[in-house]
Amino acid sequence: MDLLLIQSQEHETLPLAELKAVLATEKIDCNIEIVTNGLVLLKSLNKEDFYKNYKLLVRRLAYTHEIHELILRTDSSHLEDQFKDIKWDNYISDDFVVRIKRFDKVEIDTPIMERQLGHLILNYNIGENNQNNQNNENNENYENYESPTTENHFKVNLKDPNSFIRVLATKNEIFVAYEKFKLNKKHFQKIKPHKRPFFYPGSMSPKLARCMVNLSHIKEGQLMLDPFCGTGGILIEGGMIGAKLIGSDINWNMKNGTIVNLEYCSNLDYCDMEESDYEAHHIDVRELKLYEKVDAVVTDPPYGISTSTGGVKDGKIFHQFLESIDYNMKENAYLCIAHPHYLDIDPMLEDLDFELLERHRIKMHKSLTRIISVIRKIK
């Protein structure tokens, strides 16, 4: 069984890196095929765990727009005949919509094609395919075969359908897929920094925060730390995927604001976070000594002119941070950290028990590029 993913194209490397990290973290075995830019196919997923893994990907991924169960892979010349042969009663029970998305600048009259394919579904005869298959395989029993009902009750619903059929057209192929589980894209709009009860300028976007959480390979129930928690944006995204959370900050107001924001998010109807799942402390990272070592650290340390650094220069506070965090991490735990391009942390990693695994660049403006580094503690 295969899943088809429509990925965000707002960053060149992060969507695929995030996907690979989640697949590795959740031990989802499959083959990855990059169909074209922004379209990825996960092939040969285990049938028994297929819908469980489908739900996991829907819950976790940030830089993916849609995830669909693949129904058909074909080309334009065979689309109509093969589309009619699909057992649509496996995917549709009442109302539906067909929506087409084009890749590679494919020239298709989208409204006409959507109507044509929708019309084929409306005229689909339930049980007809099963009847034909049985007739072909066992002709001698045909006289005893009772034809099932063929009437369907499908209706088109353009606004809020129960069944969403996605057709994706590339230069050489057409994919037909079914969206069984929908990503909660509204979360990333609802929880933007300025919409939280406690706001401070410069907070990271929820999508990038979730991506960094995923790059840290944290699992549900494991312990994640952000020692520069600020307003709690990274911790919020860790909580959304079920991690246990510890935050700390040298700024007392930030620490309190983090708790306010986590309490707010725990009351969202789609969030399972409890008050016992998180804590935050007012402490300098250099003095941080946790009772329990953490499974992952995800953080965006302050840099530049900021009171949150306590007046310490960038390079020095990063080195001191890495020394402290080394003590608080389990062996083989991951650190996902954001830092400015002008700060070379590689010599610091060589001094300590860390191994750089991957790195991503995000252009902020002319004078600043944000670097996302994924690091593993090796001892």
Per-residue model confidence as pLDDT tens digits over 357-379: 999 999 888 788 999 999 999 97
Three-state DSSP state, 175: strand
Mind listing the pLDDT tens digit for each residue in 67-121?
Answer: 999 999 999 999 999 999 999 999 998 999 999 999 999 988 999 999 999 999 9
Residue 116 or residue 152, greater confidence: 116
Mean pLDDT (whole number) for 147-165: 82
β-bridge pairing 368-377 and 354-365? antiparallel
Report helix angle 206-215 to 233-240, nearest 10.
Answer: 60
Q: In sequence order, which residues have a C-beta less than 8 Å from that of residue 143 and are 6 or more positions away?
A: none
Among candidates 222, 226, 260, 268, which has minimal Cα distance to 241?
222
Mean pLDDT (whole number) for 214-227: 98
Query: Does the pLDDT value for residue 239 go beyond 80?
Result: yes
Can you give the pLDDT at residue 318? Answer: 79
Token pair for residue 271? Answer: 């969030």
82: enclosing H helix or E strand: helix 79-84
CB burial readout 266-299, b (16+ within 10 A) else e: beeeebebeeebbebeeeebeebeeeeebbbbbb
Query: Does the pLDDT value for residue 130 go beyond 70?
Result: no
Residue 308 or residue 287, greater confidence: 287
Contacts made by residues 106-112, CB under 8 angstroms, sequence distance 24+: 106/169, 106/170, 106/171, 108/169
Assign 3-class secondary structure to 251-292: CHHHHHHHHHHHHHHHCCCCCCCCHHHEEEEECCHHHCCCCC
- Lowest model confidence (mean pLDDT) among 41-50, 217-226, 300-309: 300-309
Q: What angle do CA 9, 14, 17 make, to 5 degrees?
A: 125
Mean pLDDT (whole number) for 267-272: 92
Query: For a pLDDT cut of 70, what percent of the chain falls above it?
Result: 90
Q: Do the beta carbons of residue 16 and residue 7 sit within 8 Å? A: yes
β-bridge pairing 354-365 and 163-169? unpaired
C-alpha distances (whole Å) from 23 to each of 29, 48, 160, 235, 326 are 7, 16, 31, 21, 26
Mean pLDDT (whole number) for 308-333: 76
Among candidates 92, 88, 91, 87, which has minimal Cα distance to 130?
87
Mean pLDDT (whole number) for 259-269: 95
Q: Do the beta carbons of residue 209 and residue 237 sit within 8 Å? A: yes
Query: Does the pLDDT value for residue 305 go beyond 60?
Result: no
Mind listing the pLDDT tens digit for each residue in 183-195?
Answer: 999 999 999 999 9
In the DSSP assignment, the letter for residue 308 is: G
Can you give the pLDDT at residue 137? Answer: 44
Contacts made by residues 346-354, CB under 8 angstroms, sequence distance 24+: 348/318, 348/319, 348/322, 349/322, 349/375, 351/319, 352/322, 352/323, 352/326, 353/326, 353/377, 353/378, 353/379, 354/322, 354/326, 354/378
Mind listing the pLDDT tens digit for each residue in 344-360?
Answer: 889 889 888 899 999 99
Averaged confidence pLDDT in the chain: 89
Q: How many Å apart are CA 64 and CA 46, to the nearest integer? A: 21
In the DSSP assignment, the letter for residue 353 is: T
Mind listing the pLDDT tens digit for each residue in 13-49?
Answer: 999 999 999 999 999 999 999 999 999 999 999 999 9
- Lowest model confidence (mean pLDDT) among 74-78, 129-133, 144-148, 302-306: 144-148
Can you give the pLDDT at residue 133? Answer: 46
Mean pLDDT (whole number) for 316-324: 83
Query: Does the pLDDT value for residue 309 go beyond 50?
Result: no
Query: Does the pLDDT value for residue 59 go beyond 70?
Result: yes
Q: In sequence order, which residues have a C-beta less than 8 Å from that of residue 329 and are 6 or more positions away?
A: 293, 294, 297, 335, 377
Ramachandran region, residue 360 (left: φ > 0; alpha: ψ -120 to 50; beta: rest): beta
- Lowest model confidence (mean pLDDT) among 94-98, 135-139, 229-233, 365-369: 135-139
Token pair for residue 212? Answer: 């960094």
Three-state DSSP state, 58: helix
Q: Do the beta carbons of residue 349 and residue 373 sit within 8 Å? A: no
Can you give the pLDDT at residue 313? Answer: 52
Among candidates 231, 355, 223, 218, which has minimal Cα distance to 300?
231
Query: Does the pLDDT value for residue 324 go beyond 70?
Result: yes
Can you give the pLDDT at residue 91? Answer: 96
- pLDDT-derived band at 311 (thresholds 50, 70, 90) equals very low
Count of helix runs (H) and strand runs (E) in the chain: 11, 15
Confidence (pTM): 0.90
